[in-house]
Each structure stands twice: as structure tokens, then as C-alpha cells.
Structure 1
Amino acid sequence: MSAPTATDPRATVPRSSVRRSVRLGAGRIRYELRAYFRQGDSVFFTFLFPLVFLTIFSVAFSTTDFGRDSAGTSVTAAHYYLPGMMAAGLLLTGMQNMAVEIAGERSDGTLKRLGGSPLPVFSYFLGKMGAVVVSGLLQAVLLLVVARVVFQVPLPTDPAKWATFAWIFLLGVATFAVLGIALSALPRSGKSATAVVIPITLILQFISGVYLPFSQLPTWLQNVAGIFPVKWLAQGMRSVFLPDSFRQAEQTHGWDLGGVLLATMIWLVVGLVLCRVTFRWIHRDN
């Protein structure tokens, strides 16, 4: 039997199928973004929430000295809280928003209709993931612009710092997105989704050094927070935006970017496994 050639339909069908799935996924990204930014409550509690808190902390603690850099310049509240708000943005845009949205779509029958449609599963998740990446990037840019223009926060000038930011951001977005997909199976209905998901994300933020200085938390609570990815991503963001002298305040007295990479990769794998095990187009009892 002859091998299929480049013009043989047996060789071109899989390739065209992939192209079609990607094209449909790109269309879903646009659809998801339009739907997301049309929901005022979602935009406020996920997209603008970190910016609101950065503003509140910057004003409320404007006279507080959070430390000094190597040149002796005081680190302002806006400078100190910017890394935490970056990590919070990844958590809210990725995990919280994804979990609430998918739980709602499962509850109102949207997922059931999509599951019975010709839309490939790959295209559906490409749309979700792509929308999270785009909205997360817009959110990060907005935080950086406001921090620099309004609060005069000095941003890194070393390209290596921005390279570190890039891989932490992309890995964080992917990790929280898949964890959000897995978490969407927990609420029993779309109406209960926010009541189930938001307390989880709030607790993770408070114990992970987002709102409170991590070094001031009890050692046992630091160890608990170290199990979860939020702590590591906040630490990674601090390595990008805070002076190197602040590394001494970390639990291991260093930025430990290798630990950030390892812990986040582990949670990414855990999230993918949980997605595979828990995701359903409808609840089992429906």
C-alpha cells in the first residue's frame, strides 16, 4: 500500500481539521472577550479589582515607609503592593473568572448545547484560554501604566527582569486558567458559583502575601501558603518589581525563582489532571 502524499485527502484532512479548530477557537476568543467586557460586575471584580486595591493601598499608606532600595530611596506603598496586585490579577482573571463563567454556562445549559454542536472541544477551550491571556495582559498593562504615571513607581530597566515577568505571567495565566476550569465543577449551580469561588480566592490572597506582608505572617501560615501557587507567583512578581534588598524578607531569604517555576508547573499539571477528571458538559445528576 502506498503512503499518502501531500495531495492525498488522507494527508490533508487532519491538517485542515486542525486549521478549522484553530480558526473556530480564534472566533471564540473574540466572542469571549466581548461577553466578558459587557458584564459590569465581572469587569469590576476581576479586571479592575487589583487596580482599585492598588489605588486604595497607595493612598491609605502613602506616609508609610515600606523599606529602602540600595540607593537609600524609600519604597512607597504603590511600589510595594504592585507585585501583589499583579499576582492577584492573574488569580482573579484566570481562576475566579473562569470558574464562575463555566459554572454559569453549565447551569444555564450553554455547555450542554455546545457539547452537542459541531464546535470542537479544543476550540471551546482555546477561546476560554485565549480570552484569559488577552484580558490578563490588558490588566497587567493597565496596572503598570497607572503605577508609573499616577504613583511614580519605578519600573525595571533590566531586560532580564522583563523576561522573568513574561514567563511568570504566561505560566501563571495558564495555571490559574486550568485550575479555574477544574474549580468550575465544584458549584452545584451558576447562582452559587460566586459564593463558592470568591471565598477561596480571597483566602488564598490573604495568606499569600498579596494584601499583607508575607514575612509578617506566622511561620505555620507561610508554610500552608507555600502549598498553593498564589504565594509563589506573588514572590516571583516581587522579584521583578521590588529592589533586590527585599529578597531577605522572603521565607528562604531569596527570590527562589527555581521554586516559583517548579511549584507553578506542578500546579499546572495538577490542574490539567483535575480538568480531565472533573470537567463535564452537564452535571452528573442533570
Structure 2
Amino acid sequence: MSAAQSTTSTRKLPGLGPASAVRTKAEMASFFRNKQSLVFTLALPVLLMLVFGMIFKGKIEGTNVDFKQVFLAGIIASGVMATSFTGLAINVALEREMGLLRRIAASPMPRSAYFIGKVVRVVVTTVVEVAILMILAVVVFHLPLPSDLMRWGVLAWVTALGVSSCSLAGIAYTALIPNARSASAIVTPPFMVLQFISGVFYPFNLLPELLQKIALAFPLAWLCRGYRYVFLPDEFKVTETGGTWDLPMIAIMLGGWTILGMVLTCLVFRWRGPRVR
């Protein structure tokens, strides 16, 4: 072995920390430079809030809660899923088709650094999304801010678990996307259906029981429930399943989806797309 070969073989490869920092920096730069992705990810929930916020009126039967407040809490939860599930799944599918994932897999960079960079980017964009939606909801539609430290704390951990569960589910879901051209068509429909059955546009208790049971199997319904606890008065819990907020179950379901998403990602994630003939 030559001296040059010996030097190359003994050179230390980048560790997980430095590699993750580099990937995170690249992810953030790529996201904020891509105007189309930026608008699609951040603007759609804002537009939905502005449009539907002007339509919904009246009080929820049996409570003194405005119908609009229920929708605003739901659309903030929907914004979290939009950035962490929909946007991420489409982005990963595009990078796979471009060959970026194949090059990353063949490089000396730890593969886990790729996922860390993605999750950090999603965390940052989700915080920006939630902040924008909360400001609009408070300033334009007079949604009350969380009334105590307990609710602010719940806002933090519900958002954190929502991001982790939806992000990992989105990454695993890319196994069903054959190419970047079909990514939006495959990712958007389940997200839209979940919005309609999870209590985003309508109070959850007004939905048929079968749809409620289906929705409760997925993260978005629990995200909506968590945000309803954060933003709505305590009297509204009488409309929830079982007549209680059930915060422990929210944590269990979102945490369970985080674990399930991690397992599925390990089992089904593909670094290479289908070969083009």
C-alpha cells in the first residue's frame, strides 16, 4: 500500500454531529431558496385559514364556543401535518428521483445525518408555520392565546410529537411513491381526507361514528384534539370523545405513531428509485 493510500485509509470520516450540521444547513438553504416549495408548504394553510375563517360563524351547540375558534385550532394542527408529512414526502420523492439519495447512500456520510437534517428542517418550518397561523388567528379572528403555562406546555409537546410522528410517517410513505411526478397525487388525497374526518373543518363530534373511529387511528385527529385543549375553553371538552381532553392518550397515540413511523422507515425506505429503461 502506498503512503497516499495509507493516509486516505486512516483519515477519519466525518462524525454524525458534523455531518448532521452540514446536512441541516443544506436542507435549510434548499428549502428557503425554493420559492414554489416554500409557498406550497407555508401558504396553503394560511389561505385556508383566511377563507374558511371568514365563512364559519355561530356557536357550537351546547357550548359558548364560536364555531370559528374550533376551525382555527384545527387548521393550525393541519398546518403541522402539511409541513411535516405532505411537504416532506414530496420532497424526499423528488430527491430520490434526482439521484441525490443514491449519492448520499454511497458517500461516507452517516445515513442517519440525512434524516436528522430533514427533521431539523421540518421542525424549523413547522415553528414558522405555527407562529404565522397563530398570529393570524389571534390578530384577524381573535382566537384567544393559551390561558396558562400548562396550555403553553401542552402546545410545545403536542407540536413536538406531531412533527416527529408526521415526519416519520411521511418518510415511510415515500415507499408508495413510484416517481416525483406522481408524488403530489399520491400524498395529497390521504391528507385531504384526514382533514375532513379529523375535526379540522367540522367539530369532531358532528362526524359519523365510523369516520371518528377511522380518524382516531391516525395522528391528525389527536393533533387537533391537543390544539383544541390549548386554545379552547375547558367547557368544550364535553364535545370530545368521552367528554374529556384525555391528554395522556394524545401523548400515547402521537408517541406510538412516532415509533411506528421509525420502524416503517427502517423497513421500507428506499435510497434508490426504480430504474428508467
- 2:59 corresponds to which residue? 65
- 1:281 corresponds to which residue? 271
Pick which of 48-57 and 171-180 moved more.
48-57
- 1:83 corresponds to which residue? 73
Give 3-state SS (helix, strand or coil) of 1:192's partner: helix
- 1:36 corresponds to which residue? 31
Identity value in percent: 36
Q: Any gaps of 5 or more consecutive residues in structure 1?
A: 1-12
Count matched residues: 266
- 2:210 corresponds to which residue? 220
Deviations 1:87-145 (A, max 9, x none): 11111111111111111111111111111122221211111000000000011111111
- 1:119 corresponds to which residue? 109
Letter of the aligned partner of 2:126 in structure 1?
G
Offset of 1:42 from its aligned partner? 2.3
Offset of 1:66 from its aligned partner? 3.8
CA–CA separation in structure 2 for the residues paired with 1:244 and 1:51: 26
Instruction: State the TM-score, normalizing by the size of structure 2.
Output: 0.89
Letter of the aligned partner of 1:280 in structure 2?
R
Contact preservation (8 Å) 1:68, 1:75:
no
Is 1:147 the equivalent of 2:137? yes
Letter of the aligned partner of 1:52 in structure 2?
L
Paired residues for 1:52-201 under 5 Å:
52-61=47-56, 63-66=57-60, 75=66, 77=68, 79-201=69-191
Letter of the aligned partner of 1:190 in structure 2?
A
Q: Any gaps of 5 or more consecutive residues in structure 2?
A: 1-9
Distance 1:144 1:277, change over 3 A: same
CA–CA separation in structure 2 for the residues paired with 1:31 and 1:182: 22
CA–CA separation in structure 2 for the residues paired with 1:22 and 1:198: 34
Deviations 1:45-84 (A, max 9, x none): 32122221111122122x4334697xx6x6361x222221
Distance 1:234 1:27, change over 3 A: same
Give 3-state SS (helix, strand or coil) of 2:143's partner: coil
Give 3-state SS (helix, strand or coil) of 2:161's partner: helix
Letter of the aligned partner of 1:194 in structure 2?
S
Moved over 6 A (4+): none
Is 1:48 the equivalent of 2:38? no
Contact preservation (8 Å) 1:96, 1:198:
yes
CA–CA separation in structure 1 for the residues paired with 2:24 and 2:71: 31
Distance 1:218 1:68, change over 3 A: closer
Give 3-state SS (helix, strand or coil) of 2:201's partner: coil
Offset of 1:24 from its aligned partner? 2.4
CA–CA separation in structure 2 for the residues paired with 1:17 and 1:129: 23
- 2:21 corresponds to which residue? 26
2:195 corresponds to which of 174, 180, 205: 205
Aligned alpha-carbon RMSD (Å): 2.0
CA–CA separation in structure 2 for the residues paired with 1:67 and 1:240: 20
Give 3-state SS (helix, strand or coil) of 1:185's partner: helix
Letter of the aligned partner of 1:127 in structure 2?
G
Letter of the aligned partner of 2:20 in structure 1?
G
Offset of 1:188 from its aligned partner? 0.5
Offset of 1:21 from its aligned partner? 2.0
Offset of 1:202 from its aligned partner? 0.8
Contact preservation (8 Å) 1:25, 1:124:
yes
Instruction: State the TM-score, normalizing by the size of structure 1.
Output: 0.87
Give 3-state SS (helix, strand or coil) of 2:253's partner: helix
- 2:247 corresponds to which residue? 257
Distance 1:210 1:24, change over 3 A: same
Distance 1:175 1:229, change over 3 A: same
CA–CA separation in structure 1 for the residues paired with 2:275 and 2:266: 19
Distance 1:68 1:24, change over 3 A: farther
Give 3-state SS (helix, strand or coil) of 2:242's partner: coil
